[in-house]
């Protein structure tokens, strides 16, 4: 089984509202075997639109990554960040 990755680029526009997402999302990630490889930290945009924050999350499989995103737990967390950020989230299969 090959791992899969969430790659997220985020600019938070309302930190107080975004805190609701940060409080709920970890339970969804833990339930699907996620492991954070990068979260915040120094970053440099070389091409494309600039985002303030970048996150890479490893999952044991593509199905686990998809299941996490579709889960009720993650969707509840995602609802908390609605209007509180600009985000791009991609799921990519690993090698």
- Model confidence pLDDT, tens digit, residues 33-91: 999 999 989 999 999 999 999 999 999 999 999 999 999 999 999 999 999 999 999 99
- Distance, in Å, from the CA atom of 54 to the CA atom of 68, rounded to the nearest integer, reads 19
Tell me the C-alpha to C-alpha distance, in Å, between residue 93 and each of 4, 19, 32, 46, 78. 4, 29, 15, 23, 22
Evaluate whether 89 touches 22 at the Cβ level (below 8 Å): no
Q: How confident is the model at residue 1 (pLDDT cuts 50, 70, 90)?
A: confident
Evaluate whether 79 touches 8 at the Cβ level (below 8 Å): no
pTM above 0.75, yes or no: yes
- Distance, in Å, from the CA atom of 59 to the CA atom of 35, rounded to the nearest integer, reads 7
């Amino acid at each position: 089984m090959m791992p899969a990755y969430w790659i997220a680029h985020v600019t938070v526009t309302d930190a107080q509202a975004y805190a609701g997402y940060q409080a709920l999302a970890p339970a969804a990630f833990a339930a699907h075997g996620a492991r954070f490889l990068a979260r915040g930290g120094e970053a440099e945009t070389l091409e494309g639109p600039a985002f303030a924050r970048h996150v890479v999350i490893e999952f044991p499989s593509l199905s686990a990554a998809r299941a996490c995103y579709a889960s009720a737990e993650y969707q509840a967390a995602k609802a908390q960040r609605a209007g509180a950020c600009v985000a791009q989230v991609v799921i990519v299969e690993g090698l």
